[in-house]
Amino acid sequence: MASAASPRQEIIRAYRTLLRAGLQGVRYSTPSRYVVVNQLRAAFRDPSATFKTHFDLDKIMHTVTFLRLAGKYKGFESKILKNICHVAWTRQMAKKMSWKQQFDMAASGKSKQIDRIKATQYEHYDRTIRMLNETMGMCLPVQ
């Protein structure tokens, strides 16, 4: 008789399955695969993640199916995944500052001013991804 897997093992299995499907979805392309790995790591390492308390295997399987279809066919799934990776990569690059910029800011004593537009520019995008997740029963990462 096979016993039920522990919740920790299920989470590890879900992580590995999502990682494989995500890499297949982006077809192992160089910038996108790093974005997928970073997004997935951040989602699974987040202590406030809701999936750890409300682990939903159906949502994970729908997400895996979506990612595999994105890798298999060049359709809407592929375009959506490509745009998600592009926006995540752009966000990641916008947060980075070179050592020279950091040094100049520290020397001048100024903190980085947060532009109101830049602070809210991704709100509509995040809401759209949340609605896509709700509609299709998926768990794509939203920042």
| Predicted confidence (pLDDT) at residue 139 exceeds the cutoff of 80 | yes
Asked if 81 and 26 count as a contact pair (C-beta separation under 8 A), the reply is yes
Q: Tokens 């989470």 — which residue?
A: 11
pLDDT of residue 66: 96
pLDDT higher than threshold 90 for residue 62: yes
- Given a cut of 50, whether residue 1 has pLDDT beyond it is no
pTM: 0.81
Mean pLDDT, residues 66-93 taken together: 94
Which residue reads 């939903």 in tokens?
A: 56
Residue that wins the pLDDT comparison between 93 and 23: 23
Q: Does 3 have pLDDT greater than 60?
A: no
Backbone angles phi, psi at 140, to 5 degrees: -70, 145
Spacing of C-alpha 89 from chain mean position: 10
